[in-house]
Structure 1
Amino acid sequence: MTPRSKRPVATGGGAARPRAVALRNRLLRVLIPLRSRRAAQLRYAAILDGQTVNLHAQLPARAGLPERAEVVLQRRRRRYPGEARVHEGPAGEVLVDAAVLLGAEVGGVPVGTGRWRLRLRVHTGRRSRTLPLLLLQPSVPYEGPTKPMTASPVTGERHRLGRSFRGSARVVSSGARPAVEVAKVHLTHAGVTVDFRVLGTRVEEPWVDFVASGRRIEQTVTSLGPDGFRVTVPLGGMPPRSSRPDHWDVVLRDRTGRSMRLGRRLHDVRNPLRVFAMRSLAITPPGQPPLIVQPRYTPAGNFRVTCTRMHEAGRTDQ
């Protein structure tokens, strides 16, 4: 018998990324001191609300004090300038502050998917000069009840700050992830009405399923615009069948077989269950015992309606 030939062992790309990061960091330690004389250094850079770039930079000493400045986002032949404020710091250094809104739908810069270079253009009289913006250290996520926004709360588009191998700052933009975002919840003694938006995708002939413990209530939806919809579910069909609470999850479906949970994710809070708390309501459906109805969000941000028999009201959050 001839020995079987050994196949080469496949290696994943996970090990290559740390090496690339380490190589870039070593390269930056060499390049940044060389470029600092001809570039503006970012003391602070972040996208705090998911759609506004906030910048605070110091100009090189040889640049002097310009009359005005602007931040320019550029990708290939597309350039979009944004106003910046020039002022002197306490030690006489020249500082620049800017806040650039991203996204045409919110009245900002119409950036599209891709990497956008960030540069600073300074003007004195008729003369102008363009400087790179060096990002020495990417912003570090902070702790607390809120967190950095990862997407625009209006469009769902995602923007983040990055830097090139030479340390130049850039904005990396990508489209909205497919999601169904709850916009409004209205609770009455008759039913629950939910307004929601579909982001990052299109749905064809949609409907909504309310699902709990093997039960399903299928409801039609009403269009509120190109991406907005409304659904109402009557509470008469939702009382629990036992002493335990029923947790109704809400799922959008369409004729293509797509299914997506309704939820609230375009926010900056770490605990949506606590922050976006909604009032509960005691009702008595015709022919049914009294129950407590509690719309709420799970820790993952999914929308849920919990129905509990009246004597179990204290256990709705268990």
Structure 2
Amino acid sequence: MTSTTQRPAAGGGASRARRPRARVAALRERLMHGVFLPLRRGRTALLHYAAILDGQTVNLHAQLPPATGLPDRAEIVLRRGRRRLTAEAHAHQGPAGQTLIDAAVLLGADVGGVPVGTGRWRLRLRLHTGRRTRTLALLLPQPPVPYEGPTKPMTASPVTGERHRLGRSFRGSARVVSSGARAAAEVAKVHLTHAGVTVDFRVLGARVEEPWAQFVASGRRIEQPVTVLGPGTFRVEVPLGGMPPRGARPDHWDVVLCDRTGRSMRLGRRLHDVRNPLRVFAMRSLAVTPPGHPPLIVHPRYTPAGSFRVTCTRMPEAG
């Protein structure tokens, strides 16, 4: 008799690993909404809205507990360990006489905002009335819900690439979780003329040493030097002379930044809020005649994932 061993379905281990986490998350939600939020609601500022839409600004709208008067001044306090950072908030009365707080807190020293570093930052509200100061927790009943449409909330600062997201403590207090920029080569500008194509880009979240670019198509690879424009910014000329298609079908060239440490990063445009970069950041195609070669049609574009790509097609007359 031949015995057979039944193998678990693919992904079954990952599914089983997720189940305990899902149960813990569900228990946490029940405790938060059934115990902590009701107990704290009368002693905290309740956030009706909290979101980071542009990747670097925390937008808050909160209501103070009943019977809390209009303060002379209000500010948001970001606390991590012994560090405390503050940002201005605006207090005003709502139509029903309730006291409301609005704030837009720009994050990141490089953009002129609050100089937060990586880690979890607890958000609190400090009220000043005369000589009296009162500090309240900011209660976040529900985390931000992603919205649908042609745009989406940005997950990183478009300037620095640093990432900020809103979170909650076990008891429902709002906090900001900040982390550094992911290593990326972000396209800044594409120059397209009848003489050729050049690409300006910046490197975020990494330092590159003695960099160069590789233009890669199916079975083909061209190395190309890059020019330093400034700190972390570079330019590369697209080597069109080596890129004419070898057959009737077009060739699609991806661009990879490399350096002597072995690091490689695909050039792309990802620090944006659009869902379809291929359509929104569309670029025109152009007929270019590389020296010593027949003319070809060059079309720089972005893939749906945001990677930069150059498509080269033979001119019909040159076939």
TM over 0.5: yes
* Other structure's SS at 1:35 match: helix
- State how far apart, in whole Å, the 2-side matches of 1:292 and 1:274 are: 19
What are the superposed Cα offsets for residues 19-62 of structure 1, whole Å, 9 maximum, x if unpaired?
Answer: 22112111112111110111000000000100000000000013
What are the superposed Cα offsets for residues 292-314 of structure 1, whole Å, 9 maximum, x if unpaired?
Answer: 111100000000000111239xx
1:25 aligned partner: 29
2:91 aligned partner: 86
CA contact (8 A) 2:196 2:288 kept: no
Return the letter of the residue paired with 2:22. P
CA contact (8 A) 2:54 2:157 kept: yes
Alignment of 1:113 onto 2:118 = yes
Return the letter of the residue paired with 1:249. D
Which runs of no fewer than 5 residues in structure 1 stay unpaired? 1-8, 313-318
CA contact (8 A) 1:190 1:235 kept: no
- State how far apart, in whole Å, the 2-side matches of 1:57 and 1:42 are: 4
- State how far apart, in whole Å, the 2-side matches of 1:11 and 1:52 are: 35
- State how far apart, in whole Å, the 2-side matches of 1:119 and 1:147 are: 27
Counterparts of 1:78-227 in structure 2, within 5 Å, are: 78-227=83-232
* Other structure's SS at 2:29 match: helix
Shift of 1:288: 3.0
Return the letter of the residue paired with 1:38. R
Shift of 1:93: 0.9
- State how far apart, in whole Å, the 2-side matches of 1:169 and 1:258 are: 37
* Other structure's SS at 1:15 match: helix
- State how far apart, in whole Å, the 2-side matches of 1:136 and 1:165 are: 11
CA contact (8 A) 1:37 1:62 kept: no
TM-score (norm: length of structure 2): 0.92
Percent identity between the aligned chains? 80
- State how far apart, in whole Å, the 2-side matches of 1:104 and 1:152 are: 12
Shift of 1:286: 3.7
Counterparts of 1:242-281 in structure 2, within 5 Å, are: 242-281=247-286
Shift of 1:287: 4.0
Return the letter of the residue paired with 2:230. G
1:4 aligned partner: none
- State how far apart, in whole Å, the 1-side matches of 2:160 and 2:15 are: 38
Shift of 1:234: 3.4
* Other structure's SS at 2:238 match: strand
Which runs of no fewer than 5 residues in structure 2 stay unpaired? 1-12
Return the letter of the residue paired with 1:19. R
- State how far apart, in whole Å, the 2-side matches of 1:286 and 1:65 are: 73
- State how far apart, in whole Å, the 2-side matches of 1:64 and 1:161 are: 28
Cα distance change, pair 216–96 in 1 and its aligned pair in 2 (3 A): same
- State how far apart, in whole Å, the 2-side matches of 1:44 and 1:28 are: 18
- State how far apart, in whole Å, the 1-side matches of 2:86 and 2:57 are: 14
* Other structure's SS at 1:21 match: helix
2:6 aligned partner: none
Return the letter of the residue paired with 2:66. A
Cα distance change, pair 210–166 in 1 and its aligned pair in 2 (3 A): same
* Other structure's SS at 1:277 match: coil
* Other structure's SS at 1:182 match: strand
* Other structure's SS at 2:76 match: strand
Among candidates 244, 264, 277, match of residue 239 of structure 1: 244
Return the letter of the residue paired with 2:32. L
2:19 aligned partner: 15
Give aligned pairs, total.
Answer: 304
Shift of 1:224: 1.7
TM-score (norm: length of structure 1): 0.92
Return the letter of the residue paired with 2:304. P
Alignment of 1:60 onto 2:65 = yes
CA contact (8 A) 1:190 1:234 kept: no
